Every structure is written in C-alpha cells, then in structure tokens.
Amino acid sequence: MQTSTEVVPPLMSRFRPSAAPRKPAPFLPMSRAEMDKLGWDACDIVLVTGDAYVDHPSFGMAIIGRLLESQGFRVGIISQPDWQSAEPFKALGKPRVFFGVTGGNMDSMVNRYTADRRLRHDDAYTPNGEGGKRPDRCTLVYAQRCREAFKDVPIILGGIEASLRRIAHYDYWSDKVRRSVLADAKADLLLYGNAERAVIEVAHRLAAGEAPRELEDIRGVALFRRVPENTIELHADDLDAADEGARQVRGDVVIRLPSCEQVEQDKEAYARASRVLHRESNPGNARPLVQRHGDRDLWLNPPPIPLTTEEMDSVYDLPYARAPHPSYGNAKIPAWDMIKTSVTIMRGCFGGCTFCSITEHEGRIIQSRSEASILQEIEKIRDKTPGFTGVISDIGGPTANMYRMACKDSNIESSCRKPSCVFPDICPNLNTSHDDLIRLYRKVREVKGIKRVMVASGVRYDLAVKSPAYIKELVSHHVGGYLKIAPEHTERGPLDKMMKPGIGTYHRFKQMFEAAAKQAGKQYYLIPYFIAAHPGTTDEDMMNLALWLKRNRYRADQVQTFLPSPMATATAMYHSGVNPLRGVRHGASEPVEAIKGLRQRRLHKAFLRYHDPDNWPVLREALKAMGRADLIGSRPDQLVPAHQPPGTGKAAGTRRPVRGDGPKPQRFTTKGVRLVK
C-alpha cells in the first residue's frame, strides 16, 4: 500500500555506484579465510545474529544479507558469537559501513524461557538444538560488544527482538517496564518491521558519508532526535484528555506518547501508549511518534510501505544457498529441518489477535508473492534439497489463507485505524475470496516431482467458512491426518479481549471440514489450540472451557499458557489491568482482570488438562471454592472424580479410564502436533 502523496522507488532500483558487479558468494562469509577466498580485504557490512546462519529466506539475516549483497555491498555474518568479550566481534575485521545486529528469528527471552519463566534447555535455531548459545536480551548485549570492538562503526538494530522493544515496554521476565532497546544498547538506529526498504536506504546513505543522525526521514526507523521547530505536537501523554492525539491536523505533526518515566510509574499511561502506537500502525495514515527517555526524545517514523508483489518476488528470488553454512558440518539445526521444504507465500496479518506480535512486526497489509515466484521456489526445493521426498511440508505464512486478501477500496484502507479487519465481524470492505489461493494450490500440485503439498500454517477459520470451495480443496488435497486450528477459548469474555470470533464459527468450520472429509473418503481430525490465563479470563471461563473439552472428548497433552510478549496489546492488559482496545484515561478506563499469580495460572492450565490425575486435587479444591462441587463425581457430565484412584497421578503405567460410550477421546497438543497412540 502507498499513500496518495508519497512516491516510493522500487526496492531494487539502487546499486552502489562504486561497486563492480560480482558473482554472489556461495555463502556469506563467516571467517577471514572465507573472505580471503572471495578476494575481500574487508566487509562493508557485518551482520551479527543470535541464530545459526542458514542461507534461506525463512531466516531474517539471510534475507537482509543477500539483499545488501544485491546492492553491491560485501556482507559478512557473525553467528551466535561468544559474548563474554569483544574479540569474537572482531572476527571479520572492521566493517566499512555498519554493524547490523539482530537477536534472530525469535525474541531471545521468548526463545529461552517458558511462560512460567522456566529456562528452556534447547534452542531450535542452534546446531543440534543446544541451549545457552545466546545471552538474554542478546540484541542489547551484541550491540554493546560491537561498540567495544570498533567504537566508531555505526550500529543498526533490527529483527523481531528490536522491533517489539522499540519503545518503553513491559518486560515479563523482569516484571518491569524497560527503556527502548535503542537506549539500552547505545546503538545509532533501530529498524522495525520488515526492513528491506529501510536497510537499503540506510546502507546507501551511510556508505555515501551521511551520519546516522541524518537519516531521520526514513520510514520504519527509530532514533533519538529533537522535535523539529514548527512541528505540531499532539499530546497523547495527557491522560485527563479524551483526545489521545487522534485528531487530524494539517502540517507537520508528531504524537507525543507518555514518557518512559511516565509509563514506568503509571499503568494507565502505559496502556495509553500501547493504544496510540497500535492506532498509528497503518502506513497509509500513521504519524510519527515521540517518547521522552530522560533528557532525550525517541522518535519513531511511520511504518514502512509494504512491498509490492514484484518486490516480494525479488526478495525471495535472491541467490540463497538454501542450506546451513558448511561450518556446521552434519549438525542438525531443528528450525532448518522444520522449514527446509516449506514455502512462504505471503507476509502480514490483519487478524489483530491481541496476544500475537505478528501484526506489530509485519503489519496488517498482506504482501503476497506471485504464482511464478512460488512455483520457481518449489522447483528449487525439488532440485536442491538433499533427500527431498516430493512433499512440500507447508505452503503459507503467518496464516495459511490470507493470500492476496486486501481491502476492496484503497482509499478506505489507507485511512482505516481499526486494529482488526475481522473483529468483531469481518469488515464488509475486506475481500475474502480464496479463488487465488485455490488456483495456486492446483498449480503447485502440478509441478513435476511434487507428490504432496501440505498446509501446516494455521488456517483462519472465520475466513475459511466464507469459501466452502476452499475447505473442500484443503481437505481433499492438503491435510495430512490433522489440521491445526485456533479457537483459543469458548467464552465470550476472554475471546473479546483476544479479538477472536465466537466458538460458533469454529463449530461451523468443523461441520464443513468433516463434511468435506467424508465426501473425500478421508478420516481427518481438527487440532484446536487453547490458551490458559489470558487477560480477561476468569476461573469460571476456564471451567466452562474444560466442560466443553470433555463434552467434545478432547484431551490436551500439552497446553500453552499466555506469555506476555513485548508490545502485544494483551501484554498491555496484563501489565496495566485496563483495556487499551477502548479509550484510556484517568477515571474512564475499562478494567481487565490479569492472571498473574503462579497459583491461578497453574489452575487455568489444570482446567485445560482436566483429565490428568495430577490435576484432580487442585481442580476439586477450586471447584468447591467456586461453589461448583456438583462437577465433582463420576458421571459423564462431571469434570473430575470425587476420590483419587489408587495408582493414578505420577505413577508409571497409569491407565486413564474412558467413561461413557462412543469413540475414544482425541488426544492432541494445543501446539499442533498430534500424538501417536
């Protein structure tokens, strides 16, 4: 999408004038020996990443590295360096233009800790899945070490960790509000969102001799700067005013968020800042934001203009080796094994689920690749992937079925400030046709050597029910025994705080799915996701969800508890106790119950695993306290037995009896991996 007054040059329209055309490197170098082999005396840009280097478009450092290479820059990669000293950050020498620092494909804290703040012992983005190869808040640590290594080299932060920590944010693991990572890392610039446009512009202008502080006009950039004279400030930091800085004013305008110090001390101020930031996320109408940090102003330019289909194709058609760097030898990288035969067909999500950070990073505008580019990548997978069996493991993106969906009217799209296109109902201006996706599926299946194409990305079922033809196509050709789906809850209270459709829409999809499976002569299962302890969820809500699970004969073997990731709207609810989906001001904010105590969080999780004997004692105690002792007993309509049967619980070899007639209960994981019985 592009504003009516802004002309954006094509992504690949620039090339470094002083750079002679050269062949792409087989892999971007990770050592001086590789640089010598390429004939390089120095790198122009060194990318430091918390992930293993896999040269594949599913890994951010590979996309940015190959993109900068296509612009004529010499790019090296330092992957998962030892952060105990600055020496590993000198491995490729002093970069001529800048250091680019990213935590990797995941926020390092989400990657390393569970929702209960317990340490994970594995890391899917590390050779052999080994844990502990990156520090906590690794973007911050890496940037500080880069500064120690070469003090005068500009440091540019990017990736999802930096993107979601671009302003003062609540940090779940320390249980406090932290400053923008740009301030703590002492870096020069922060690029947020999908940063292809911004990183090209930054690289060329820094190479031409401009200073980082002079790059204040680039979209998707955060930096510290003074508010220019003659700029009109709209004060969203005044919590006694209803305005929230949302009014339209002619001229150069900036919206002043509550300061870092203010959001640290006032939880309603934090919720106001979150609300305004999300309302200013549409590239078509977003204004710059400014937030005071001590004696400096943090300035956030409007989000990047989304890539066109041609630009998306150019990014995914870059000369990736499509393999891990050879230095890893035969080590297994779990994340690579998971995605090496999958294809990304689009970016972005207009669902706006409050617990999810995809929208905050990739935006609400769907950016889709062309059929030709997708088919070409599938042929590369077929021809270049060792041991390829003819099965494409996934064709999708953040969601499976938003390909080429967009607002019917570009003017409406560029002026809209709604956080979701599908909540509380699907917007009548949204084109929900699945015809392009159905046509793509059929063309993909016709590629020579392709035996099966799976859909493993989550299906947005409220969109799918609008297209019976899509459900039929999906079930007939692209489901492998189960399909993951995300109702998240059954009760209206938490669903409204999640911005998710009611359970009735799930039932309609399930009916259509089962009818299509029967017609195709298949026996398939839906694997539903559910979240425990989400803000706005009561104990009664979880009890009702557990009863629904039992009535429908579902048994969750693994469950997910709400994890407050930085910048998500639900995280603002969790921290502040108010609802930023509605107006936020002193005396007029809507309260939200946040489930913070470990005891209550475990209770909500126990309701999801009502069938586990280990949970029966706590559930019996809770049901009695709730006045629902009628649900304790052995009848089919009761939730847990009155007595703990001998040999149940943690005892090995426990058999869990199935009560009542009919088929055995489905066992599933809310993370989408069906367990073999």
Helices (H), 102-219: 108-112, 138-149, 159-163, 181-185, 196-207
Distance CA(628)–CA(194), nearest Å, equals 49
Distance CA(146)–CA(151), nearest Å, equals 8
| String of DSSP letters for 35-91 | HHHHT-SS-SEEEEESS--EESTTSHHHHHHHHHHHTT--EEEEES--TTSSGGGGT
The one-character DSSP state at 628 is -
Structure tokens at 526: 């839906």
Pairing verdict, β 342-344 and 394-396: parallel
Give one word for 2, left, alpha or beta, with left for phi > 0 and alpha for psi -120 to 50: beta
The alpha carbon dihedral of 37, 196, 45, 184 has a sign of negative
Torsion angle, CA of 567/570/572/576, rounded to 10 degrees?
A: -160
Q: What angle do CA 472, 374, 67 make, to 5 degrees?
A: 145
Distance CA(121)–CA(106), nearest Å, equals 16
- Residue corresponding to tokens 């989550």: 458
471 three-class SS: helix
Structure tokens at 657: 């009896």
Q: What share of the chain is helix, strand, coil (3-state, %, to 5)?
A: 35, 15, 50
In angstroms, the Cα distances linking 387 to 337, 340, 390 are 12, 11, 9
- Residue corresponding to tokens 């003074």: 226
In angstroms, the Cα distances linking 125 to 91, 122, 162, 456 are 21, 9, 18, 19
Nearest of 82, 73, 123 to residue 100 by alpha carbon:
73
353 labeled part of a ligand binding site: yes
- Residue corresponding to tokens 């062309």: 370
Q: How many CA atoms lie within 13 A of 527 on its CB side?
A: 22
Element (H, E) at 128: none
Contact (CB, 8 A) for 281 and 416: no
**Span between the terminal Cα atoms of the chain, in Å:** 48
Structure tokens at 133: 């190869």
- Residue corresponding to tokens 């429908």: 552
Distance CA(350)–CA(353), nearest Å, equals 9
- The single-letter code of the amino acid at 119 is L
- Residue corresponding to tokens 């107006």: 583
Question: What is the number of residues in the chain?
Answer: 677
Q: Which residues are documented as binding site? A: 349, 353, 356
Q: Which residues are documented as binding site for [4Fe-4S] cluster? A: 349, 353, 356
